[in-house]
Structure 1
Amino acid sequence: MSAELMRLSARAVRGLLARREITPADLVEAAIDRIQTVDGAVNAVPTRCFDRARAQAAQPGLANSMLGGIPFVVKDNAEIGGVRWTGGTPIFADRVSTQSDRTIALIERNGGIPLGKANLSELGGANTTNAVLGTTRNPWNTALTCGGSSGGSAVALATGQVWLAHGNDVGGSLRIPASFCGVTGLRPTPGRVPRRSILNPFDTIFVDGPMARDIGDLALFFDAMIGFDSADPLSASSPDGPFLPMALKPDRPLRAAWSADLGCLPVADEVRALGDAFVAALQEDGTAIDKACPDFTGALPALLTLRGVNYVTSWEPFLDRHRHQFTPEVMGDIEHGLRQTPSSIGAAERYRAEMYRRVIAFLGDYEVLITPAAPILPFAVETMWPQQIAGMQQNTYIDWIAITAITSLLACPVLAVPVGFSCDGLPFGVQIIGRPRSEARLFQIAAAIERLCGLPPTIIEPNSCKKSAMPSSN
């Protein structure tokens, strides 16, 4: 029964819970069994709180909640009460949370049961590896990276260890691992999901968001994450929710734009070819889609400046005691921020404002802008970041994720969805960028793309490069 439950969608098990055909305890034990069976090969959920989950599953009234007692995993830069909280850095290797942070507590109030902490990149980056919890591997080919930084969450979903997963996104952390692992992720409009306490609560670049195996489950989990919390000054209620009904009404975009490279970035030839095939499929299906994008020239320097300033805000207080414990990549971000002047910061902010106005004008003509979620396919897990893409040198670990990191500056919702496979059987995904607070339409559009591409969610057995013979069922 456990294996059968893990292959079901979150929506399906929610229905079983509502009809009292199963209990939250059944789901917790099924997920625990799957984690213990497969996670040794991929290291997606290195920190576990099984006894806590069992106790939570026994609480009365869960069946009447939004999620009904569905287990999920939490990225290890968020807090679960009473559970180790490392952030993937030796600086916090022994830290234990006193209580769940507001993001996770809201999900718990809505009937979600945390099973453990999903692995992540060390303080930043897009390869899920760190000095505390080790490396997470891509289940489609365990010699390759799963991306990051929400890589543990994506791998836990792809391997069928959980039905739902929490993540967050600064430069693509919800979207890159979703693309590399063949699952879905949503970077919401800032304010949709109340965030944990951060040093700059007015920042619009860091957001929490959901990950799931398909669009319907993604919307279900998003509904359990949204709301107003006065401790997060950007948070607001969502009168256009719930979003699950929208995800169950697939609807192609009125007019879409496609750009393989935002007009200024290197992209691998195979990714371009996969993108061309995707666009051709949309056109054949009757979607109006043009190859077009706003002008993003100069976006990467502005991004690096603003990212560096944010890293100084977050990490400068730790430099005196812990400088030696930062990775070279993160230390590079901090040092870049420390070199900025008021003039350079002002110029970056002006560029961001001008870019936003250009994109919003563009999205007045096109309902969405669609791009690859990553410029390359998964690479060797030992490689921290690729040094070249399409013959162009990548000077920092941010350069290779610029296609997602630049779009993080816009404060627009972005949804990642798998749309195909490479010749080697690796997943390929796209990101769909919409107008601010247009998540409802993004769910409809992504559901239409999901239906067109015909990629039912699958449970991947680690070390296999092929889809499971037993797809998940809705």
Structure 2
Amino acid sequence: MTSKQPLCHLSAMALRTEIGAGRVSATEVVTAHLAQIETWNPRVNAIVTLDAERALAQAARADQAQASGAPLGLLHGLPIAHKDSFLTAGMRTTYGSPVYRDFIPERDSLIVTRERAAGAITLGKTNLPEFGAGSQTFNTVFGPTRNPYDLGKTAGGSSGGAAAALACGMVPLADGTDMGGSLRNPASFCNVVGLRPSAGRVPQWPTASPYNALTVAGPMARTVADVALLLAATAGPDARDPLSIEQDPRCFLGALERDFKGTRIAFAPTWGGLPTQPAVVQALDRQLAVFEALGALVDMDCPDFSGADASFQALRGQAFAVGYEMLLREKRDQLKDSVIWNIELGLQQAGSVLVQAERQRAALFARMHAFMQTHEFLIGPVSQVVPFPVEHETVHEIEGTPMHNYIDWMRSGYYLSLTGHPVISVPCGFTADGLPVGIQIVGRYRDELGVLQLARAFEQATQFWLQAPRLPD
């Protein structure tokens, strides 16, 4: 296998098999990915902190442990890059902000701890917008991350560095976070897979908002099976996260094959009337027959998302105020305008606004739950637009409809965040200009396994993930 295909183009599952069988060493795998980083990263700016020396030392220890007969972890020898909002002991963590340009934490975030305990080898950190604010990855510390399929376009965000690194073969696995679409939008823009799991599925620690169910941590990879592998390594309860789910994460390690004959799927091409570029809808329309070929029954239908906009904006503002109020007071001159706006919104909004936001979220969840009793899955576009010029900080209008703030164009993402249901972004084809488009697959409450199964079936039928970007001349 490895003689026919470069190591950095193999899936994480394939690499795991090769390493486990002794056909390739962790050191060889890490070396191949470091070479890929050297080739690709100057073009896309996805990995912003790199520690090759420490990665190679970790790989050597992994090889020694394997040679001694030690049991191998789920991620043994697999390179990984962490979003630059996760703490990494001894490695710079900037949050994409000049405030933390030189911050080196003394501890790891829980997700990093679990990845390392499973045998993953940290290569470095991936780029994000300042404090993860927005679905366009740029900041004043490192600059923008570019789309590997068109270097003039954005990779999306906020886990844009992770998505671009995966697409280029710089890493087989990456992690990220998602409040309004940050695991899904960049996956869609870069032709990779991003899973937004249920709140608490991947516990978060440390965090300023342990009861915040809007922001989740989750896995990204090039294939659905790889995402399931990383989920199995990072999920599971932890008493420091009050939302963590008491379920054995090994449930995600089984075969993902399933018969979908007679399964009811709702298709919402514009999520109930959101302005959406025709190229996005056309890409999804071309693949609807795939679900029908799987035996599923596809209906044009959509839940009622009324009240979602006001609710999300209020709850997002509250989360920013909880997390960053002191930064606003002490470092305002170093924060970007959209971050300041979100913090001030949270601090200034009336209590009645939050009361109404919680009522709207509760009503939305009830409607979503009822809807999902008649449809096991819901599908639609990840983003309302295709990747846009990297020089544009945000999307200002879609099909003539103005966007009123920097996240207005991502309603297709944050509507689903509010429902609390697991949702995945899977490659769904390309536009006439060669830009990737992703499809969102939403499952029933806490049914990540079902989501992974349908995503895997779609991926196997279409194989879009195999269309890697080409290195420009």
1:381 matched to which residue of 2?
390
Cα displacement (A) at 1:97: 1.6
CA pair 238-101 structure 1, distance change in 2 beyond 3 A: same
- For residue 5 of structure 1, what is the amino acid of its counterpart? L
SS at match of 1:143: strand
- Give the CA deviation at 1:74: 0.4
Determine whether 1:61 maps to 2:61: no
Whole-Å separation in 2 of the counterparts to 1:250 and 1:217: 21
Q: CA deviation at 1:339?
A: 2.5
Q: What letter is aligned with 2:108?
A: S
5 Å-filtered alignment, 1:8-407, equals 8-59=10-61, 60-61=64-65, 64-123=72-131, 124-239=133-248, 241-249=250-258, 251=260, 254-407=263-416
Shift in Å at residue 190 of structure 1? 1.1
Shift of 1:406: 1.7
Partners of 1:330 and 1:252 in 2: how far apart? 47
For 2:130, give the aligned amino acid: E
How far is the alpha carbon of 1:284 from its aligned partner?
5.0
Distance between the aligned counterparts of 1:284 and 1:228, measured in 2?
Answer: 38
Q: What's the secondary structure of 2:228's corresponding residue?
A: helix
CA contact (8 A) 1:249 1:447 kept: no
1:73 is displaced (CA, Å) by 0.6
Deviation at 1:217, TM superposition (A): 1.1
CA–CA distance in 2 between the matches of 1:372 and 1:126? 15
Structure 1 position 50, deviation (Å): 1.4
Contact 2:193–2:425 (Cα < 8 Å) also in 1: yes
1:19 deviation in Å? 1.1
When the two structures are aligned, how many residues end up with a matched partner?
464
Q: Secondary structure of 1:343's partner?
A: helix
- 1:294 and 1:358 in contact (8 A); partners too: yes
Deviation digits for residues 260-311 of structure 1, max 9, x if unmatched? 2221421112212222222244335532111111111221111111111111
| SS of residue paired to 1:407 | helix
The CA distance in 1 between the partners of 2:395 and 2:465, in whole Å, is 30
Please state how far the C-alpha of 1:206 moved relative to its aligned partner: 1.0
Alpha-carbon separation, structure 2, partners of 1:379 and 1:237: 41
Tell me how far 1:182 sits from its aligned partner: 0.3
The answer (yes or no) to whether the contact 2:80–2:173 under 8 Å persists in 1 is yes
**Gap runs ≥5 in structure 1:** 465-474
3-state SS of paired residue (1:58): helix
Matches within 5 A, 1:382-461: 382-461=391-470
Which consecutive residues of structure 2, in runs of 5 or more, have no partner in the other structure?
none
Counterpart secondary structure, 2:254: helix
Q: Distance in 2 between matches of 1:253 and 1:396?
A: 41
Q: Which region of structure 1 is more displaced relative to structure 2, 252-261 or 14-23? A: 252-261
- Cα pair distance change 1:334/1:443, threshold 3 Å: same
What corresponds to 1:467 in structure 2?
none
- Deviation of the 1:199 alpha carbon: 0.6
Distance (Å, rounded) in 1 between the aligned partners of 2:30 and 2:262: 38
2:313 and 2:226 mapped to 1: Cα distance? 34
Deviation digits for residues 319-345 of structure 1 (CA, Å, limit 9, x no counterpart): 122112221111111222223111111
How far, CA to CA, are the matches of 2:370 and 2:472 in structure 1?
46
Larger mean CA deviation between 54-63 and 227-236 belongs to 54-63
Q: State the Cα distance separating 1:456 from its structure 2 match.
A: 4.1
Displacement after TM superposition at 1:250 (Å):
6.9
What amino acid does structure 2 have at the position aligned with 1:26?
E
Task: Determine the C-alpha separation between the residues in 1 that align with 2:43 and 2:249.
Answer: 41
1:48-95 C-alpha deviation (Å, 9 max, x unpaired): 121221222122436611111101110000022200000000111110
- Residues 258 and 291, structure 1, Cα contact 8 Å, conserved in 2: yes
- Structure 1 residues 118 and 183, CA, compared in 2 at 3 Å: closer, same or farther? same
The 10-residue stretch of structure 1 (181-190 or 99-108) with the greater mean CA deviation from structure 2? 99-108
Letter in 2 for 1:222: L
Secondary structure of 1:322 counterpart: helix
- 1:280–1:293 Cα change, 3 Å: same
- Match of 2:250, as an amino acid? G
CA contact (8 A) 1:42 1:462 kept: no
Give the secondary structure class of the aligned counterpart of 1:242.
helix
Q: Does 439-448 or 49-58 show the bigger shift?
A: 49-58
Q: In the TM superposition, what is the alpha-carbon distance from 1:227 to its structure 2 partner? A: 1.6
In structure 1, distance between residues paired with 2:238 and 2:40: 37
1:185–1:210: 8 Å Cα contact kept in structure 2? yes
Is the Cα–Cα contact under 8 Å of residues 71 and 112 in structure 1 kept in the other structure? yes
1:252 deviates by 6.5
**TM-score for both structures, normalised by structure 1:** 0.94
Retained in 1: the 8 A contact 2:290–2:458?
no
Q: Answer yes or no: is the 8 Å Cα contact 1:432–1:442 preserved in 2.
A: yes
Report the CA distance shift for 1:447/1:260 in structure 2 as closer, same or farther (over 3 A): same
Are the counterparts in 2 of residues 127 and 145 from structure 1 also a CA contact under 8 Å?
Answer: yes
Which segment drifts farther, 450-459 or 137-146? Answer: 450-459
CA shift in 2, pair 1:26/1:421, >3 Å? same
Letter in 1 for 2:148: P
Cα pair 1:86 1:95 within 8 Å, conserved: yes
Name the CA shift for 1:250/1:26 in 2 (closer, same or farther; >3 Å): farther
**Distance in structure 1 (CA, Å) of the matches to 2:92 and 2:347:** 31
After TM superposition, give the deviation of residue 154 of structure 1 in Å: 0.4
Superposed displacement of residue 416, structure 1: 0.7
